[in-house]
Amino acid sequence: MFFGVKLISQILNFVFSFFPIASLMYLAYKIWEKKRTQSGFSHLLFAFLLTFIAPFQTFLLVFFFEYLYDYEASIATIVFWVGLIFALWGTKKIAENISSGLEEEIKRVIKWVVFISVLLAVVYYVPIYFKLQRTLIWKIGALFYIFSGIALWGLFTSISHIASLVEELKNGAKILRTLSFYLLIEPLIYLTLVSFEVLPSWLFKARFVMSFISVLLAIFIVSFTLNLSIKHLPKIIAGIETFYTGRIKPLSIRKLRSLILILLPFIAVLLILQTILIKNYIKYEVERYALEKSKLLKTLANSIEFSLENNFKILEELSNDKDIIEINIPSLQSKYARAFQRFPSYIGNVSRVDEKGILRYTFPPDPKAIGRDISYQAHIKKFLIEKKPFVSEVFRSVQGYDAVALGQPVFDIRGNFKGNVSCLIDVKKMLEHFSKLAGEGLDQFYVFNLNNQKILYSNDLSSIGQNFFEVANKFVRADIKKDELISSFENETANGKAIEGRHKWLRKIKFALSFAKIELLKNDTETWVFVNLIDEVTVLRKTFYHFQLYYVLFFASILIFLYLYLTNINSIRYTFNLEEEINKQAEEIIQSERKYRELAENPLVGLAIYDENGFIFVNRRLCEMFGYEPDEFMNLTPTDIIHPEDKEKWIQRAIGLLRGGYAPEKATYRAITKNGDVLYLTCYSKRIIHQHKPAVQTVIFDSTKEKLQEDMLKHLQRVESIGTFTMGIAHDFNNILQIIIASAQMIDFKVSRGNIKPEELKKYIDNIISISNRGAELIKRLKIFTRKEIPGAEVLDLDQMISETLNIIKMPLPEFIDIDVKLNAKGSKVFALKTEIQQALLNIVLNSKDAIIEKMKKGLLNSQGKIIVETRIREISTEEAEVFKVKPGKYACVRVIDNGIGMDEKTKVRVFEPFFTTKQPEIGTGLGMPTVFGIVVSHGGFITLDSKLGEGTTVEICLPVYEKEAPKLETEKTKVEEQKKNIMLISENRELKNEVRRVLEGIGFDVIFADDRVSAFKILSENSDKISFVLIDSKTPRLHLREVIAELKIVKPDIRVVLLYSTPESVGLENIEVIENPDELIKIFSSIKPTS
């Protein structure tokens, strides 16, 4: 009966809203037709759809499942209330187009709706909130139940005011206003009864009475609204003034009517299909879960069977023991004690019973039990007759627990029956032990005896000992089909299935039932069944599939789309002919703006526009890069974010762009974020005109990640190069030392024997001198590669030097190689060491010669070998200077081109590594090209190489053009400024302090001493304007050399640091001078004039 009441209740919710809102929609449509304003039609259509979906959805759920979950009822109530709010909004729009008096009445009703809602929420709902013993979602639904009643009262009151415009309906309108007050009272009555926790029977009766009253009210509302719509709405519409002189297009009318007529059946069918789909999905998911759990139960059952088999094996071993057969008590005791340790922890005891049923021995020993006659016990009685292995039924043991006995018959060597050996299993302990092995994989778990249906074990301890089917009926709140289940248990036709039951809120739901069985001794004893039970709510929660929320959101999205579509489509159609040209132009502007905005707000790149006064525009991505808000960023200037070391470079490029001069399109800079991090930026810029003034538009990429990866790759390559370099030095010097040692040993050997001849001695000495000279040459070339200064450099005419070197270059070339010289750098001068440039050029030409010879040997040289030496002047831009790590400007270049064998990519990458060579050991040392590289870099130039395997190689060296004075080349030791200030020495060594004071005071300097890093930091902080040089004793203990230098640099960035003595910690320090003797200080500081 209550199920019928629930269905009626849902139908009434549909009736209460459908006819009144349908009538208001018709009125709004007619006003729209006459005045060409929507007049609330879109609001009422949206309200109509929501108030149709919410009751119809709950009707389907009640029909299929009888009861609603709290969240289902609450969501439906909230959706219904939202629909009513839109209905009130649409009613107000209608009133605005009918008369100002009616508009004031409707506004007053809406104000009352808001006031009563707030009042009841504060005065009534809040006090009973804590009395309601329900879930939070139910309480939220209850609040909106109150709000829905108030909104329905407001809607019907508004309809009564509209109906009062017709004289014949004034009395009916008053009745409607009076009856609608019941809608305010009904939620309060129901919630009050719930809060006082009245008996369910009383609550049912109250709900039945309220439903009966609602039926009467619904009948009156349906009759009144139908009468209003059919007979009297045309009169109200006739009184509305027509402002629109045109007419609605027939096509638009047909489409609008078709849409409304199709929409409701479509949503209804969709809701029905989805509800059926949900029901079938639940069944499928529950059955799948049941079958999944049955596998776990089967594993558990198999584990118990396996354990029983092991126990039987132990008993069988005992039954064959001579002392046990003859019941030799002293031996029996020790053997039983050892055997007992092999049994699992749930074995209570191990016993020996003779052929008459007398308990002769038990372990652990039990004096009260030993000697007792237990032949009366059912399993012993049966055993004495059958004389076979046995498993007893579950019985109450003497110790007070449910037990199962396992027994093995004992026969002597003649085959005479001598009783049995047996063990007693504590059933509860055993099942508890194996259920723990299953972990948290079990839900409501039972183990029961199929023979007597008694529960042996459960994770609900209170159910142990009860009838399984009675307990299961209570759990699922329904009558389980006992015979059908027993048949399934016995036949094991399916180990998992879905059974019908009810939720605690009495909703019809599915339960997943999984089971597995074991027979303790095949076909000869009782059967145990393992069962797992769980309801569908828990199953679905475990699968993370909240189906109700899914389809509510799904339909909400459909309705929002329909609302947006219906509120705009007809208005666009009606005004299309009048605004076609305007819309066309507006669309072009919008598209243009949209494209620009999409570009400007690109989430991947930063975009900025700036002029000489600062930023004009920045996009959000650029702000995110630097960690600023847009307003903060606009208050900055570009120089505020550029790294101090890159500001000059940025300013030069910005000036070039703004003035229309040359500036590279692409540039890279370092920048500082808001929190002080360094970014590497790649910028693409172009000059634009903004508001009649020149500006720069820049697209900015954050290339920090790529820069870090590039630095890491370079570091790895540098480490590999150092390894190759070290191995090469070790190899070459090892060869030199071997020859020196061998020659010295031969001299020693012959001198000791007294038979060395002068010519032999001279021969060995010549070997030593020759190989030593080779080592000295090797060291010289290594110095050239690694040094950065050029002692003895002079101003040279490049073309003239190449001409003078031509004869030297031609000497080592064979006849089949031609050399061609093209001098295109007339008058260009460079500041360089002539012999080193000649050596570099010679090394390159010799490599070209070797490459041509190798190509000829491979049969790939089809013509004469050719080498071209060409000079030219090259202008290096800022972008190129960054790549080559030099200064921009003019460079005099020498290019050597050959048609030799060429190189592959791997060789090109390693060509400048020391000791790397592709030649035979007797031909190449691997120092030729590294030496060239060292010479060029030390002269402030750069070198490029291009090569293709099988085609040839081009090597070009470029040196800065000398114009007025020799270029200042970077050196390892920074030039000391022509000023002198005090010198601080950090050392604990008293003798060293005296020596340094003697040396420096002798040339006119004052020395300040610090014993450690703390005192040094303090002294420099207080005398930063007086101290320009710091001497550090590297051998000072606990100094932490790198840290103290960093701290000193923080206090005074331009401080010059000199280390006394090299240590492992001093290796790798850049721009730091190291001396090994204090006397060398005179050489460093003698050129500095002391402070006067």
Per-residue pLDDT, averaged over 241-268, amounts to 53
Q: How far apart are CA 9 and CA 187, in angstroms?
A: 13
Pairwise pLDDT comparison (276 vs 170), residue with the higher score: 170
| pLDDT of residue 575 exceeding 50 | no
pLDDT tens for residues 895-948? 999 999 898 888 887 787 766 676 655 455 666 788 788 888 888 899 999 998
**Which range is most confident: 227-236, 410-419, 698-707, 875-884?**
410-419
Q: Are 612 and 658 in contact (CB under 8 A)?
A: yes
Q: How much is the pLDDT for 868?
A: 92
Per-residue pLDDT, averaged over 805-822, amounts to 77
Q: How much is the pLDDT for 872?
A: 92
pLDDT tens for residues 538-562? 777 666 554 455 455 556 556 655 6
Q: How much is the pLDDT for 873?
A: 92
Per-residue pLDDT, averaged over 683-696, amounts to 88
Q: Are 609 and 616 in contact (CB under 8 A)?
A: yes
Q: How much is the pLDDT for 463?
A: 82
Report the percent of the chain where pLDDT is more than 70. 76
pLDDT tens for residues 109-160? 999 999 999 999 888 888 888 877 777 888 888 899 899 889 989 988 998 8
The lowest-confidence range among 390-399, 696-705, 900-909, 960-969 is 960-969
Q: What angle do CA 573, 574, 580 make, to 5 degrees?
A: 70
The lowest-confidence range among 260-274, 582-596, 777-791, 1008-1022 is 777-791
Name the band, by pLDDT with cuts 50, 70 and 90, for residue 952: very high
Pairwise pLDDT comparison (768 vs 1042), residue with the higher score: 768
Q: Are 496 and 287 in contact (CB under 8 A)?
A: yes
Per-residue pLDDT, averaged over 253-266, amounts to 60
Q: Are 39 and 31 in contact (CB under 8 A)?
A: yes
Give which of 854, 800, 846, 855 is closest to 819, Cα–Cα.
Answer: 846
C-alpha dihedral sign at 623, 627, 629, 631: negative
Tokens 């050959």, located at residue: 898
Pairwise pLDDT comparison (453 vs 586), residue with the higher score: 453
Q: How much is the pLDDT for 399?
A: 72
Omega prior to 603 cis, within 30 of 0: no
Pairwise pLDDT comparison (386 vs 478), residue with the higher score: 386
Name the band, by pLDDT with cuts 50, 70 and 90, for residue 716: low
| pLDDT of residue 893 exceeding 90 | yes
One-letter identity of residue 58: T
| pLDDT of residue 970 exceeding 50 | no
Name the band, by pLDDT with cuts 50, 70 and 90, for residue 12: low
Q: How much is the pLDDT for 974?
A: 39
Q: How much is the pLDDT for 979?
A: 43
Name the band, by pLDDT with cuts 50, 70 and 90, for residue 249: very low
DSSP 904-939: -HHHHHHTTSTT--SS-TTT--S-HHHHHHHHHHHT
Q: Are 878 and 872 in contact (CB under 8 A)?
A: no
pLDDT tens for residues 94-104? 888 888 888 89
| pLDDT of residue 978 exceeding 50 | no
Q: How much is the pLDDT for 119?
A: 92
Q: How much is the pLDDT for 1060?
A: 84
Q: How much is the pLDDT for 586?
A: 58
Our measurement of the distance from residue 390's CA atom to the centroid of its chain's CA atoms, rounded to an integer in Å, reads: 61
Per-residue pLDDT, averaged over 566-584, amounts to 49
Pairwise pLDDT comparison (115 vs 45), residue with the higher score: 115
The lowest-confidence range among 627-636, 678-687, 1040-1049 is 1040-1049
Q: How much is the pLDDT for 2?
A: 44
Q: How many CA atoms lie within 13 A of 528 on its CB side?
A: 26
Specify the pTM. Answer: 0.42
What phi-psi label fits residue 736: left (phi over 0), alpha (psi between -120 and 50 degrees) or beta?
alpha
Work out whether strand 865-876 and strand 817-823 pair parallel, antiparallel, or are unpaired. Answer: parallel
Name the band, by pLDDT with cuts 50, 70 and 90, for residue 1009: confident
Mean pLDDT of the chain: 77
The lowest-confidence range among 181-195, 480-494, 848-862 is 480-494
Per-residue pLDDT, averaged over 316-345, amounts to 87
Q: How much is the pLDDT for 172?
A: 87
Per-residue pLDDT, averaged over 313-333, amounts to 88
| pLDDT of residue 1019 exceeding 90 | no
Per-residue pLDDT, averaged over 829-847, amounts to 83
Q: How far apart are CA 63 and CA 1006, in angstroms?
A: 103
| pLDDT of residue 973 exceeding 50 | no
Q: How much is the pLDDT for 966?
A: 43
